[in-house]
Structure formats: C-alpha cells, structure tokens
Chain A
Amino acid sequence: MPSAGLLSLILAVLQRDVIASLRRGSEWSNPLVFYVMVCALFPLGIGPQPERLAELAPGILWVVALLASLLATDSLFRGDFDDGTLEQMLLTHQSLYPQVLAKTLAHWMMTGLPLSVLSPILGVLLQLPPAGMLPLMASLVLGTMVLSFIGAIGAALTVGLRKGGLLLSLIVLPLYIPVLIFGSSVVKTAIDGGPYMPQLAMLAVFFLVALALSPLAICGALRISVDQ
C-alpha cells in the first residue's frame, strides 16, 4: 500500500514539526508579534485619518505579512541541519518529496496561517473597509502558502552557509513580488467593489504550481547543502 505509507509519512513529519515548533515557541510567535507590532505602529506614524489609512491598509497588511513570513523562513531547515536530523531525512529509501512537502506545510501552519487568521483584527486597526476583510484573509491564506514554498527553496539553498540570512532575502524577495502584487490587488479591488476573483484565482495558480514544483527544487537544494 504505497499511498497509505506516503500519507502516514506526511502525517508523521507534520506532527513532529508542529509539536517541535509549538514547544519552542519563538518560531511561531516571532513573526506574529512582528506582524502585530508593525501594523499597530502605522496608524501612529501616518496619523489617524480613516480615509488615508483605509487607502494604505491593503498594501501595509500585505507588505508586513510578507516580511513576517520572510523573517520565519531561515529557521525552516536550520534546526534540522544543526542537530543532524536532516541527514536522516536524506538517508531513507523513501522519497524526500513528501517529507519536504510536509515540512513546508507545517511551517506554513505555524507562520502563514496565524497571520491570515489574525489579519482582520489588524484590518480594523488600519480602518480597512468591511468589504475587504474576507478577500484579505483569503488572499493571505493562499499567498502566504506560496511564500512558504518559495522561502523553503531559499532556506534549503542557504542552510549549509553559516551566515545565509542576507543571501536568503536576496534570493527569495524577487520571487515574492508577484505574490505581493496580486495579493494586495485582491484586497484593493474588493474595497473598490470590483471583481477580485481573477486575482485570487491567479494566487491559487501560483499556489498549485508551487505545491507541485517547489518540493523538487527544495529536495535538490537540500542535497547540495548537505553535500560538503
């Protein structure tokens, strides 16, 4: 039963990573605290006028979510690399693809998902009109998932370097830009009362492509990083 085996492998990796991340705490709380703090600072910085804030809100919420996601990316494979468990992942006769897929999903559940769930509250803080709330959440759920997959490629490429932080940002930021453009456009269009489904569908396309292809790149990058 290869399919049942694959599913139990994915579940085991998901469970392990989520438990480890919850116990460590900083992994899921740092991006979240960053997101809340920066979004809370914007009204203080640019003044409390509701019209001006509402105009800027989609962009602010999306840019800060993107940076928060970037902040968390470096730790994706770092811990496993340092304690030698990454070698165990590479040295099984089972495919690396489902393991990497599960690890990236676990990472998203600990970073992107909480950001998306919390975003309406910060939307209220930034005077985002109610029509934009649901599109904001939907675009963030899809978008942060894409960001996690792209970030995982960068993290896998730089995990072997002692100081890969800056390099990681340089690698992944250009790839983040299309996601940002379509993501904030979803929210803006929704506020203006226009049809936002096309942009959301575009994000879904990004997600499906990333889901299918990025694990291949991540597997290759991990093998290169460990090969030293």
Chain B
Amino acid sequence: MAAPGLQVNQLFSERDDRVLFSDLCFQLNAGQLVQIAGPNGSGKTSLLRILAGLSSRYEGEVLWQGKSLQRHRHDYLSQLLYIGHGAGIKAVLSPLENLRWSCALRGMSHCDTSIMAALDKVGLRGFEEQACHSLSAGQQRRVNLARLFCIPASLWVLDEPFTAIDQRGVAEIEQWLADFVHDGGAVLLTTHHSLNFSHEFTILNLGDYANA
C-alpha cells in the first residue's frame, strides 16, 4: 500500500495561552476530501497554515507520504497548492499578470494558454487585461481560484474558498473539487457552508479537539 498522503499525529497548538486543538489526528489520502469545521476562532486557519508549512507554532507530527514535512519541504511544496483567506492577488495588476507571476513562481514559463483556459473556466473571459481592483470581490476571488487550474498539484489546501462567491459559483466550485478528487487529488478545506458533495467526505470538527 502506498504511504498515506498527509498524516497528522497528535497535533497540538495554542495561541495566547488558549489551546486551539490538542491530540488532533487525521489522515488525508489521494482521492479524499476533508472539510475542517468549527466556530470562528477555533483555529481552522491556524491549522491550515501549519499544514502548509507556514507556521511552526505546533507540537506533534505532520507527515507527507510518510516523511517529515520539515525535512522534505521541497517535495511537499511542489505538490501543494495553498489558497489562503487573503486576496492572493495584486490589485493593480490584471488577472493575466497575476497568474503569470504565480506560474513563474512555480517554475512555469510561457503558460499564457493555460492561464487563459483557467480564467475561462472560472468565468473571467474578457476580464483578462482589466486591473483587479476594478473587479468585484467575487471576481477577485475567482482570479485567485483560477490558480487551481493553471498550477499542477496533488494537494489543495483551501481556506474559505466560497467567500464572496455567488450561489451558482459555489456549485461550480463543488464540481471542480469533485472532479479533482475523482482524478486522485486530495483536498483540505475550511468552510462554514454545508458542502453539497457527490463523493464521500470527512468532516473534522475542531471544536471537538479544543478541550481534550
């Protein structure tokens, strides 16, 4: 059997002397989706930042394909696509310029065709050259989400991907997630929205781990 994708063992984290979660254990394999739930301030974003390797404020073990995250950072990051709750785009640049930069950071050059296809997929055809600050909040979010389709990855870590997205868009994103999971990708996301997902998925309620 292949090593599990992402494995979290006895994770503990606190913020300002308040325990966010302790003894948190879960696994995320290829073809699975885990939704992290919990009330505001329960540490969802903190958990995602830890798992993305941005934050070191934790105790416990995080393994990627059976290997420690810190020591195999390079392998892990080449597989990971993290979309934080920030804008993730420069407002003065156009969607095309933003995504060109994102692709270049991943070592991809001359990827205008795939960027155009990605922007088309998120419904931003015709807005490629417009400065992002003149787009609506939902459209800006879509520019950020377009990275999902022009950067290859096997693990998506998404922090509140549905923020500012309209109802039809939410259904669309759920379909993208389903397609990705179907193709063997792994997804970890936080949302307050109740997912309408065709596959089986796990809900991890952080509130359950707060006072353990």
A→B interface (CB under 8 Å) = 5, 8-9, 12-13, 16, 19-20, 23-24, 79, 82-85, 87-94, 99, 226-228
Contacts and interface: CB of A to CB of B under 8 A. Distances in A.
Nearest to B82: A91
Contact of B105 (A19, A20, A83, A99): A99
B87 A84 contact: yes
Interface of B: 52-57, 74-75, 77-78, 80, 82, 84-93, 97, 100-102, 104-107, 109, 131
B92 A20 contact: yes
A19 B74 contact: no
24 contacts: A8-B104, A9-B107, A12-B100, A12-B104, A16-B97, A16-B100, A19-B92, A20-B90, A83-B89, A83-B90, A84-B86, A85-B86, A85-B87, A85-B88, A85-B89, A85-B90, A88-B82, A88-B88, A91-B80, A93-B78, A93-B106, A227-B54, A227-B56, A227-B57
A226 B97 CA distance: 24
Given A79-B90, A87-B54, A23 B104 contact: no
Majority secondary structure of chain A interface residues (helix, strand, loop or mixed)? helix
A94 B105 contact: yes
Nearest to B147: A88
B54 A90 contact: yes
Nearest to A25: B92
Majority secondary structure of chain B interface residues (helix, strand, loop or mixed)? loop
Nearest to A91: B82
A165 B120 CA distance: 42
Contacts of A92: 77, 105-107
Residue of A19, A91, A228 most packed against chain B (CB within 10 A): A91
Nearest to A224: B56
Contacts of A88: 82, 88, 102, 105
Contact of A91 (B77, B100, B109, B131): B77
Residue of B56, B89, B90 most packed against chain A (CB within 10 A): B90
Contact of A83 (B52, B86, B97, B104): B86
Given A5-B107, A89-B105, A84 B84 contact: yes
A225 to B, nearest CB: 11
A16 B106 contact: no
Given A23-B131, A24-B92, A226 B87 contact: no
Contact of B74 (A12, A20, A93): A93
